[in-house]
Amino acid sequence: MQLIRSAISIFASLILSTSTVNAESELPDIGGSGYSIITLQQEYNLGRAWARLLRGQARIYEDALVSQYIEDLTWSLVSHSQLQDKRLEILVLDNPTINAFAAPGGIIGVHSGLILTAQSEGQLASVLAHELAHLSQRHFAAQLEEQRRNRPFFLASMLGSLLVAAADPEAGVAAIQSSMAASISSRLSFSRQNEREADYIGMQTLTSAGYSPFAMSEMFTRLQESARFSKKPPEFLLTHPVTQSRISDALNRAEQFPKDKSIDNTLHFNLVRARVQANYAKDKTPLLKKYQTLQETTDNDDVRYAIAYTAIKLKEFELAKAEISKFSKEFSNKLSARLLRAELATEEENYSSALEQLQTLHSLYPGNHAISFLIADVYLHANQPEKASEVYEKIVQNHPNDSRAWYLLAESYGLEGNIIGVHEARIEYFLLTANVDRAIKQIDYALKDPNITESEKARVEQRKKDALVIRKSLDLRY
């Protein structure tokens, strides 16, 4: 929690220093949206610093199939949005609470619990479209401009509160409530204006991408119902209040859009939702029985997949095989079904079969996150750490901010005896999670290694310089 508390002062110092510089120069933000107080690049830098702190405090969701689905869904919306700066970073957090947020500089965070609340892909997409609208309209810069003469610490405290909420929901509720209570009425009015604009532009994005405009009001209703039967409101509702008038506005607005056929509750969404439900179920047996009861009236690939995946988690492998054998011919050839068969083989410890399946998929879908993480894990189980390292190296090459991949790369390097590789991967992991002191210690350990080569030494020394720059970005005190 100390790191979280320091985050608020970090953001405050960054915002205050930005405000001072721009107030003196009064230069416009060329290429921005009319906000002179903070530039697009400053927003980007702020967001990346905040993301490091977030990774250090909140758990990243480990099911790569779920994470890739959220990323793919978000990017499918981006092409239909008004977002100009597309340097996005999408973080799926291992948190069963209902929350999603956008932070300056293209950071979008989604709690895995939001997938459980949504009942269709359109409903989930409506939340993502709303967050993209906050980014495209630069509402953080607008909020900061509004508060420049009133409460310059407000945006800093709200960003700090979001960080707290991601790591500790109980503390997050209190922190956000405190921030909201401290704001003046004009700021609340300004926030409502931002929410209305994000709703409007988000619905445009949603419908342009092919989803029903009514998905947004449906999701608002779901969120309102979740709050009604909960002892404490979801974090999302504290920063995005849902009222009956807002639901009515969304319904009225949806009526103005064409009633063309739109994307329905897609199969992929149902599969992802089933995985999240099984992963969070403390007792998976009742969940399995629920699916089996549903199957009596609705026997389709969605339900068969849910039964098979839950059965795998319960190590009821014969049941899983039976359900997989019932997949329709069309679905059986889809990536989701083929990955599930590989997961089953892995859980049965039939690593040769799992590798054979995954190697084929890896060649067909190069760069696929879910396949890459699965095959690397099987390589480790099959005592082939060198091959696992090759896969993880490819992941971090394409996704250098993937802290989980760096962590696992360090583990695989350790198993293969690549000591300098362990040092370098750990350094990257610590820097990505705002643990700069630990990164510097790891750098010092690496430099003391008697077997380090000159090229490796030069590379590690450069990372020490980079670490000092990162530390400054995390603790700007002007």
Query: What mean pLDDT, rounded, does the chain reach?
Result: 84
Q: What is the pLDDT of residues 32-76, one digit of tens each?
A: 445 556 788 888 888 898 899 999 989 999 999 999 999 999 999
The type of residue at 19 is: S
**What's the confidence (pLDDT) of residue 180?**
34
Q: No. of H helices and E strands in the chain?
A: 25, 3
Question: Higher model confidence: residue 16 or residue 462?
Answer: 462
| DSSP code, position 60 | B
User: How confident is the model over 102-144, as pLDDT tens digits?
Assistant: 888 899 999 999 999 999 999 999 999 999 999 998 887 777 7
145 is an active site residue: no
Is residue 80 within 8 Å of 208, Cβ to Cβ? yes
Do residues 288 and 320 touch, judged by C-beta distance below 8 A? no
Please state, in angstroms and rounded to a whole number, the distance separating the CA atoms of residues 211 and 218: 12
pLDDT band at 156 (very low <50, low <70, confident <90, very high): low
Of the listed 145, 199, 343, 428, which one is catalytic?
Answer: 199
pLDDT at 219: 93
State residue 470's pLDDT score: 94
Closest CA to 202 of 83, 81, 108: 81
CB 78 within 8 A of CB 132: yes
Establish whether 29 is a catalytic residue: no
Burial of 464 (0-12, 13-18, 19+ CB in 10 A): middle
Q: How confident is the model at residue 158 (pLDDT cuts 50, 70, 90)?
A: low
pLDDT tens per residue, range 244-294: 888 888 999 999 988 776 777 688 999 999 999 999 999 999 999 999 999
Would you give the end-to-end CA distance of the chain in angstroms?
A: 24
Total length of the chain? 478
* Six-digit token string for 248: 């009515």
Name residues whose C-beta falls within 8 Å of residue 42's C-beta, 6 or more positions apart in sequence. Answer: 18
Are 439 and 459 in contact by the 8 Å Cβ rule? The answer is no
Q: Is 241 helix (H, G, I), strand (E, B) or coil?
A: coil
Q: Are 83 and 135 in contact (CB under 8 A)?
A: yes
**Surface-to-core class of residue 30, CB atoms within 10 Å of its CB (0-12 exposed, 13-18 middle, 19+ buried):** exposed
Residues 6+ apart with CB under 8 A from 239: 101, 158, 162, 176
Options 29, 63, 89, 131, the catalytic residue: 131
Q: Is 366 exposed, middle or buried (0-12, 13-18, 19+ CB in 10 A)?
A: exposed
Instruction: Convert the pLDDT of each residue in 44-56 to its tens digit.
Output: 888 898 899 999 9
Closest to 110 (Cα-Cα) out of 121, 122, 102: 102
**Which tens digit of pLDDT belongs to each residue from 319-361?**
999 999 999 999 999 999 999 999 999 999 999 999 999 999 9
Instruction: Give the amino acid at 25.
Output: S
Which pLDDT value is given to residue 154?
A: 52
Rounded Cα gap, residues 13 and 152, in angstroms: 10
How far apart CA 248 and CA 255 sit, in angstroms, is 11
